[in-house]
Structure 1
């Protein structure tokens, strides 16, 4: 196997599409594209207005109501000004209105909750019990709302996590609401209501609200047709739990244009799994089950047609048994790529340019390595800078503004050909997370979604055999 480092390939920034009818409605900047063209699903989105149910502390519903009204106001950014556009108002961006749901869907928590949380040795259990009770009250009127907003003040911060157990309030609430098909938006006081940059908050919450209500903000513009992208992630429950310890999570099965379908998840047979360093590996039979069910989701969306190419991402290596299970499940597929995506690597890079005055000399560039830089480091491995500098608004934009960007490592366990198609897909899929306002994630969405799903799924008591939709986990 060659260990020679190859030449650097510069991949272009992927474009996003903002209309199902007009191919020219595209932009590399997700928020600028929304502000210019509106969302991809503008012509077929049916929830108008989007009805919002609310849960708030006693006597504080007005704070959440004021925040919801702010979504209709315009704001100029005071941070990330090289990236964030002005927020013009929810209806102007998304072409649909939002409204408070019926009074039956607006609940305030008990008056004595602050005192109970202050006096309890286990405040997280008290808070989650009261919140779940309130959600159950609203759930009785499920047809009257589209998305549920829950306001959490910072004074309850001690109850957001358990001290000695694996408790996380966010994940626990998501697990409950996802199991009951309720899209949930948690509104933290410090991260939303009192956050200093209103434009940033409105872009984040507005985008999440639209996607959770079933809208499609954007899709990938230039894609290889008849391709399916699958992200695998495994969750391991604590040893002391009385539930099945292993959960196999298959993240959303993505179309070639990046549109997510439902995803499958189920408790795996512990007798057919191996664990090394807390990383579970599937047997050939279990992997066959996962990929077969994933393809059923794809074919249901595509009139029974199978993809020509399937690219499967996983954070751990593909063992031989797992690879064989994939091949068994995809007998008619022309191309199968099994790609390990390693997010934490020891590699770093710096960009150097020739000195204009003296071509024999090189000088360090003012900005980091460009996003989309690809370097082969062997027959089966390559480095891809998903995080890096981007030419944006006629300026160089570096997301985060500091640090040396770390590449991800792509390790090919099956497939052939050059690295460009594989890296181009990962780069494009890093722009398909509808749950934040950044230009991109530092991982392809196949991996970032899979991690979220696995974290929440291990807290769900029963997975059943039904498919889930990711908007309930956002």
Structure 2
């Protein structure tokens, strides 16, 4: 037995594409790429983007002022080694945004806060009032594109339920609006209006507004057009719910370029629970894979992908593997990859010795993002978080600038060959979250979106059979 580990690999930072026909319009930095080239779907989003609003009594002007500020310029006052100045919404996306026509703006009456104070369930009072406002706007859907909901701190008593309730106002409103195909943006007083770092706020809200209006800010530059990615997550309803306890959430079959944000969700009947984790029967897994593959074919003129990579956070049981293989039997290659987020491994980067008979010294920056360390024929560690070169003038960039980055563990339950394609795709998909202005997430979008879907879908009154667009859940 030896204490040595296998040699490690390193994969460079994936590039993003900002034009469907110009191969040179690429950049590793998503915001820098937007400023240089504009969004990928330029000219395909209705101009202007019309914003409807829901606000507390007497607070509508404050929300309008915030919307106007989206068209102003702001220099970064935090994350200066990454964040570029915000030049205004039109300068970034080459289209306008404005308030929708007069009838699309709702102010909640002044009695709301008194009713919340007098109630033992203020979250029910608040969520009911906001849901009714969404219903009213739904009746005039053709007159706006996105809804801004101003959420002041004075409503904080209604943000969460009692200790014995599974209630979250954000997820409740997303569920209510997604069921009606209404894209909403919550504008929190503490996180947006009162947040002192305005450039950060404008980048985040601006990106979200563009994506929720149907825009595509960027896609992956180096991708295999014949590969599809599927992310699976399971939502567990509260015990007191009268609906089936488990819901299977299949995040959209992502195209090879990481785009295409539809997904299917349905109640799973044949579920085996082990250590609080649900596992599907062969029939249920066949069902979810078949419906997911149908989504891909619908977007690609009936064509079947050559390769499919499936991500989920728990292991693939034998019945689940059989269900996947049966549904995907027309694909040349199928990789079933478990992504484990919580691992005990850490790593430190050691610079090589500079002179004879000297030991290496700890580097000034952590392990490079994209480093891969094999643990065996079926497992490896991949650093999704770490040092990245070429993002700023200093030559090194460590997102967050604190703590020792932890890797994720990839476990392949089906598939073969080197880890290159699996690792490269995971790194690239970590840059496809359009609801985030960071360089990357610590998980591929297949898993980060699946987490969001699991939280929201279990609160929806009915799932329906039609696929959903993810922009309604962002």
Shared fold, TM over 0.5: yes
- Cα deviation per residue 1:295-344 (whole Å; 9 max; x = unaligned)? 10000111110000000000000000000000000111100000000011
Task: Say whether residues 1:114 and 2:128 are aligned partners.
Answer: no
Q: Is the 8 A contact 1:3 1:377 kept in 2?
A: no
Unaligned stretches of 5+ in structure 1?
A: none
Within a 5 Å distance, the mapping from 1:76-225 to structure 2 comes to 76-164=75-163, 165-225=165-225
Question: Partner of 1:229 in structure 2?
Answer: 229
Within a 5 Å distance, the mapping from 1:23-422 to structure 2 comes to 23-43=23-43, 45-164=44-163, 165-269=165-269, 272-358=270-356, 360-391=358-389, 392-395=391-394, 396-422=396-422
- Cα deviation per residue 1:94-119 (whole Å; 9 max; x = unaligned)? 01100101111100001111212222
Question: Partner of 1:463 in structure 2?
Answer: 463
The SS at the match of 2:206 is: helix
Q: Name the CA distance, whole Å, in 1 between partners of 2:4 and 2:137.
A: 61
Q: Name the CA distance, whole Å, in 2 between partners of 1:3 and 1:286.
A: 43
How much does 1:4 deviate? Answer: 7.1
User: Cα 1:310–1:364, aligned 2, differ >3 Å: closer, same or farther?
Assistant: same
Q: Is the 8 A contact 1:261 1:298 kept in 2?
A: no
Q: Name the CA distance, whole Å, in 2 between partners of 1:59 and 1:318.
A: 53
Q: Name the CA distance, whole Å, in 2 between partners of 1:365 and 1:46.
A: 46
Q: Name the CA distance, whole Å, in 2 between partners of 1:447 and 1:126.
A: 33
Q: Name the CA distance, whole Å, in 2 between partners of 1:450 and 1:46.
A: 26
Q: Is the 8 A contact 2:383 2:408 kept in 1?
A: yes
- Cα deviation per residue 1:243-297 (whole Å; 9 max; x = unaligned)? 111100001110001112410000111xx11011221000000000000000100
Q: Name the CA distance, whole Å, in 2 between partners of 1:472 and 1:58.
A: 26
How much does 1:70 deviate? Answer: 0.3
User: Cα 1:331–1:58, aligned 2, differ >3 Å: closer, same or farther?
Assistant: same
- The more displaced of 31-40 and 110-119 is 110-119
Q: Is the 8 A contact 1:261 1:297 kept in 2?
A: no
Q: Name the CA distance, whole Å, in 1 between partners of 2:109 and 2:79.
A: 39
Q: Is the 8 A contact 2:222 2:257 kept in 1?
A: yes
Q: Name the CA distance, whole Å, in 2 between partners of 1:440 and 1:18.
A: 17
User: Cα 1:3–1:22, aligned 2, differ >3 Å: closer, same or farther?
Assistant: farther
Q: Name the CA distance, whole Å, in 1 between partners of 2:357 and 2:218.
A: 43
The SS at the match of 2:337 is: strand
Q: Is the 8 A contact 2:252 2:295 kept in 1?
A: no
Q: Name the CA distance, whole Å, in 2 between partners of 1:359 and 1:445.
A: 46
How much does 1:359 deviate? Answer: 6.0
Instruction: Give the root-mean-square deviation of aligned CA atoms.
Output: 1.2
Q: Name the CA distance, whole Å, in 2 between partners of 1:300 and 1:3.
A: 51
TM-score by length of 1: 0.98
- Cα deviation per residue 1:439-467 (whole Å; 9 max; x = unaligned)? 00000000000000011000011111110
Q: Is the 8 A contact 1:3 1:378 kept in 2?
A: no
